[in-house]
Amino acid sequence: MMVSFRIFSMVQPNKRHDYPKYDRNNIKEKKLSALKKEMDNALAGLALLKEVPENINKISDREALILKLKKEQAHMETGRESYHTSLYDISKTVHPFDLKTNVAKNSEDLKLELSKTLVDLHLLSAEYGINDKNNRLSKYGRQIEDITWLIDYWWLLTDESLAQYEIDETCRTWLIAI
């Protein structure tokens, strides 16, 4: 079902930056690496402070800073993982069968699933501060109708492909269910 991924590419397939893929700026990768650098500096500073006994009061301040940085880092990494999971779920959703139950899908089921994923991505964007400067979520939302149409088209092609053979209904059902 390669056709669906081409339409799903979020706009023109030639423009690499429009694909729904990992984007360093959207996931704040730069901020995460800066945060890791700041944490490394804070840990190094804490080690130096512990060597000098007069710096007891400064140690607790440094430990509080390190704890705050660790929480912020965990929050950002959770956002990144959730974002990647949502994108992966979209690719699994755009399939003529439910991959868990092996039940055939129709366009209405797919539309509901993709709309739910869009809502989830909007919530992730708001919760984790993911910047959508190219308005990819809106583009994805506008393409849901076109993506769902592909399922109906796939079933039409399947029916037409099987119609040219003299297959009884039991065998035809078995072929489609596999």
Nearest to 174 by CA among 104, 109, 105: 104
CA distances, 132 to each of 39, 146, 149 (Å):
27, 22, 26
pLDDT in tens, 119-159: 988 888 888 877 777 888 889 899 999 889 888 898 889 88
Please list, in sequence order, all residues whose beta carbon lies within 8 angstroms of the beta carbon of residue 81, skipping any fewer than 6 positions away: none
pLDDT in tens, 34-50: 777 877 877 777 777 77
3-state secondary structure of 104: strand
pTM score, whole prediction:
0.61
